[in-house]
Amino acid sequence: MTAQYLPVLMVTLGAMGFMAVMLGINALLGPKRKKAAMPAIMLEPFECGSPPLQIDNRRRTAVKFYLVALLFVMFDLETVLLYPWAVLYKELGMFGFAELLVFMISLVVGLAYAWRKGALEWR
């Protein structure tokens, strides 16, 4: 049973070791200046050579932005999942076709629901 988890443990330990090495290198070679000694301009975020914009981060964001992003991810994944199915179409047979049909119907129902609710309209 534990032999199954050995590769997962090795990857986890490798990632933690890599993180420790990178943090150690940063501590040894990174800048050592105190923030109080730095000019104020060096503490501001860098925005491609332009002065940084003073935007309030606590500003409300429209839910429509997140809804459109979620719909994009959903239909992007649909496209990504269609490629392996198309490659293995003959090997999967009718069972694979039925599974894809169920998947596509659920996505079309989701699209119809989003369209009816007005999620695709940008006002």
User: How high is the pLDDT of residue 55?
Assistant: 64
Buried b / exposed e along 75-90 (16+ C-beta atoms within 10 A): eeebeeeeeeeeeeee
Task: Render pLDDT for 22-43 as a digit per residue (tens, 0 to 9).
Answer: 999 999 988 776 666 667 666 6
pLDDT surpasses 80 at 92: yes
Residue 37 DSSP class: G
Domains for the chain: give ranges and CATH numbers.
Answer: 2-117 (1.20.58)
Residues with Cβ within 8 Å of 26's Cβ and at least 6 positions away in sequence, in order, are none
pLDDT at 10 (0 to 100):
95
Q: Annotate 38-106 with three-state secondary structure.
A: CCHHHHCCCECCECCCCCCCCCCCCHHHHHHHHHHHHHHHHHHHHHHHHHCHHHHHHHHHHHHHHHHHH
SS3 assignment, position 32:
coil
pTM summary value = 0.46
Q: Is residue 90 scored above 80 in pLDDT?
A: yes
Average pLDDT over residues 9-19: 97
Partners of 50 in the β-ladder: 47
